[in-house]
Chain A
C-alpha cells in the first residue's frame, strides 16, 4: 500500500523534512564512464540518499523505508538487500511484515536471485512456523509459472529446513495432472521420494513410482520427462533397472503401439548397453521400424536401434552415430 502511494505522488527526498539532515552522495562514475545509464531523476536521487545512509551505516527506521524505495526501483541491487537485512537485525523488526514486503516486490518481477535469497533469510529466522506460509507463497508463484526455477529451489529449501512434507507428493501429483510435461514437477517428485522423511526412500517407493511413470509414458510416449524419471528411479542400481520387466515392457509397448518411439528406442539402447538380453519380441518390434533403403543391414539389434535413431532423430544424428561407434567395445 505504502509503496503504491509513494509511486503515485512521490515527494522528492530533498523536500521531505525527515531527510533534511542528510547530504546525498552522488555515484562516482568518473569523468567518462562506459555503459552509463540515463537514470531518471527519481532513481538518481533515491540512490544518492541510499549511498549516504549506507556509507554512514545508518540502521534506522527511515533507512529501512529508503531501502524499500531503492528495491522498488531496482530489485536486482544486492547491496541494498544486504544492507536491508542488517537494518532488520539492528531494529529487531517484525519479519512477518517483511514477508508481505517481499510478496509485493515479487508481484512485479520474481525472477531475480536477491528476492529469493532474502526470502530464505527471513524464513530461516521465522523458523518452522513459517513453513506453511512459504509453501503457499511458492504455490502462488507456480499458479502463474509452474517451472519457476527460483521458486522451486526455495520450496526445496523450505521442506528441508522447515518441514511441511505432508502434502508434497500430492502437490506434485496435482501439478502433473495439470501438465504432465512439467519437468520441474517431475524433478520435485524425485526430490520428494528421495528426501521426504515421511516416505521410505527411493527403493521403497520404486514399485508404485514405476507404475505411475509407466502410465504417464503410455499416455504421452513423446514426453521426455517420465522417461528420464523412470531411469532416475534406478539411480545407483543399474542392474535392477536392466532386470525389471516393467522397464523393458514399457519400451516394447511403445515400440509396438505408436509412432513416437524415439525415447523407447533410446531407452532400449541404454538397456542393451547395460546387458539386457532382448527377447525375440524386441527384435520383431525393431525390425518393423527399420528404415527402408539400400543401407547395409545391421547384424545385431543394438546396431539396428542406433541406425533407426539416427534416421528418425536427425538433429541428434551425430550423437547416435557416436553411440554406435562405441558399441564395438561393448560386445
Chain B
C-alpha cells in the first residue's frame, strides 16, 4: 500500500519540479531582511507600464501567431494599464478606437484583425477594451444594433452560442455573448433562452464547469459559466456548494491557483478561479438556500431547481429603473418557464450585482495568492508570467493583475470601504483599481459605460 518508493508519475514529477522552484523563491524571501522583503513584494509599476505601452506601439514578429487576436492584445494591455490606475496618451486612445473600428464587421461584431470574420471572443475583448478607454467617442463607436444581430446569428437552437459563423460551440462563447449583451444593454429573453440549460449540462461531477458537456472541470470555463448564470439570473440552477468545494481545492500548496485537479499552478487562474470567489461573495444567500435544502434532507442540486429562488442580485437598484421590485416573482415565473413578458430588467443585473455589498468574507487565501503573484509571477523588469521559468506575456500580465485586484478588494464589501493595509500584500502603493468581477473591467470604467448605454 505504501508507494512512496515507486517511480513518480508524470503528474508527480511535474508537480515536484514546480514546487521546488516556487519554494526556493519563498525560502529566499523568508531569509531576507525586512527592507529587502518589502522591495521584493513591491509591484514594479513603472516597469509594467513600460512593458505594456511598448506593446501598444509595436509587437515583434513572434506575435504573428496572435494575428487573429489583436483586440485581445488591446484588451490585455489596456485593462492592465487601467488596473494600475494609469492612462494612455489621448492620441494612443484615438488610435485604439480607430483600429478597433477597422476590426468591427459591417454586419456586427469584431474580428481578430481588419478584414477577418467577426468572432465572439474578440468581440468581448474589443468591447471591454473600448469600455476601458471610455469616453463618448469610444463607446459610441460600437454598433450595438449590428452587434445584436451578430449575437442572434451565433445563437443555437440548443441555447448555446457559436464562436463565429459555423464555428465551435462552448461555454466561452456563451459567456462572451452574454457579457457583451449585458454591458451594452441589449440582453433580452431571446438571447438568454436555454443558455442556462447548456451551462448546467457542463457542470461536472467534480463541481467545476467544463467547456462542453462531458469534458473536465476547468477554471476558465468555470468562471465563464458561473458569470453567465449570474448575468441571466439563473445561478441557483448550479450546484453552488459543489462548485465552491471544487474551486476551494484549486488553490495549491504553491499558493496560486491551478486550472484543473492535479494540474500545475498558473497565475492566470488568479483571476479565473479567484474571480469565481469574488462572484461567490455576492451569491451567498442563494448558496445558503441550497445548503438549507441540503440540511433538510434533500439532494441540493435537484431541490434548488424545484424550490425556485429568491435572488437578491437585482435588488439595490431602486431609482434607476423602477422595474426591479418584481424581481422575485419574475424569477419564479422564469423557473416556471413560460413568462414571455418578463418585467425583470436583465440588463441591470450586472449593475445591481456590484452595487450590492459582498455578503461574506472571501473563502480563499487572499494573502497567499498575492504572494504567489508578486513573488513568482512578477517579472521585475516588467510584465507577469505563468510561473517561474516561463517568459512574461500580455495575457498573464492582464490576468495576474486582475487576480491581484480581486485579492486586494476581497475584504472590502463595497466601494465605500477601501482595503485595509492588512489586506494588501507589500506596500500599500501596490493597491490596484477595483474591477467588476462579472466583466473584468475596472469598475469606474464599467459605471461610465453602464450609464452611457442605459440611456441609449
Within 8 A of B (CB), among A74-102: 74-79, 82, 85
Q: A residues within 8 A CB of B116?
A: 77-79
Report which of A38, A78, A156, A190 forms a contact with B205, defined as CB distance below 8 A.
Answer: A190
Cβ-defined contact, B262 with A183, below 8 A: yes
Q: Does A182 contact B (CB under 8 A)?
A: yes
Q: Does B238 contact A (CB under 8 A)?
A: no
Count the B residues whose beta carbon is within 8 Å of the partner chain — how many? 83
CA distance A329 to B204 in the complex (A): 27
Q: Which residue of B lies closest to A86 (CB)?
A: B166
Q: B residues within 8 A CB of A30?
A: 98-99, 102, 114
Please judge, given known A-B contacts A79-B117, A238-B299, A329-B295, whether A40 and B216 are in contact too, CB under 8 Å. no
Count the A residues whose beta carbon is within 8 Å of the partner chain — how many? 80
Cβ-defined contact, A74 with B67, below 8 A: yes
Q: B residues within 8 A CB of A218?
A: 1
* Min C-beta distance of B212 to chain A, whole Å: 6
Cβ-defined contact, B294 with A273, below 8 A: yes
Please judge, given known A-B contacts A35-B99, A78-B167, A195-B214, whether A329 and B292 are in contact too, CB under 8 Å. yes
Q: B residues within 8 A CB of A235?
A: 205
Cβ-defined contact, A315 with B65, below 8 A: no
Residue interface mask A176-212, B partner, CB < 8 A = 1: 0011111110010011000100000000000000000
Cβ-defined contact, B364 with A187, below 8 A: no
26 CB contacts below 8 A, A to B, read: A27-B113, A28-B102, A30-B114, A33-B99, A34-B57, A38-B58, A39-B67, A74-B68, A76-B65, A79-B68, A82-B165, A82-B167, A146-B10, A152-B216, A156-B212, A184-B260, A191-B214, A219-B1, A228-B246, A232-B204, A232-B206, A257-B1, A273-B295, A275-B297, A316-B365, A322-B363
Q: B residues within 8 A CB of A113?
A: 163, 168
Q: B residues within 8 A CB of A152?
A: 215-216
CA distance A224 to B44 in the complex (A): 37
Residue interface mask B371-403, A partner, CB < 8 A = 1: 000000000000000000000000000000000
Cβ-defined contact, A34 with B211, below 8 A: no
Q: A residues within 8 A CB of B165?
A: 82
Within 8 A of A (CB), among B108-130: 111-117, 119
CA distance A87 to B362 in the complex (A): 52
Q: Which residue of B lies closest to A112 (CB)?
A: B65
Please judge, given known A-B contacts A28-B115, A182-B262, A315-B368, whether A220 and B95 are in contact too, CB under 8 Å. no
The stretch of B69-77, B141-149, B181-189 in contact with A is B69-77
Give the interface of B toward A (CB within 8 A). 1, 3, 9-12, 55-61, 63-70, 73-74, 77, 92, 95-96, 98-99, 102, 111-117, 119, 163-168, 204-207, 211-212, 214-218, 244, 246, 248-249, 251-253, 255, 260-263, 288, 291-292, 294-295, 297, 299, 301-302, 360-365, 368
CA distance A156 to B70 in the complex (A): 31
Cβ-defined contact, B215 with A187, below 8 A: yes
* Min C-beta distance of B5 to chain A, whole Å: 13
Cβ-defined contact, A32 with B166, below 8 A: no
Q: A residues within 8 A CB of B63?
A: 37
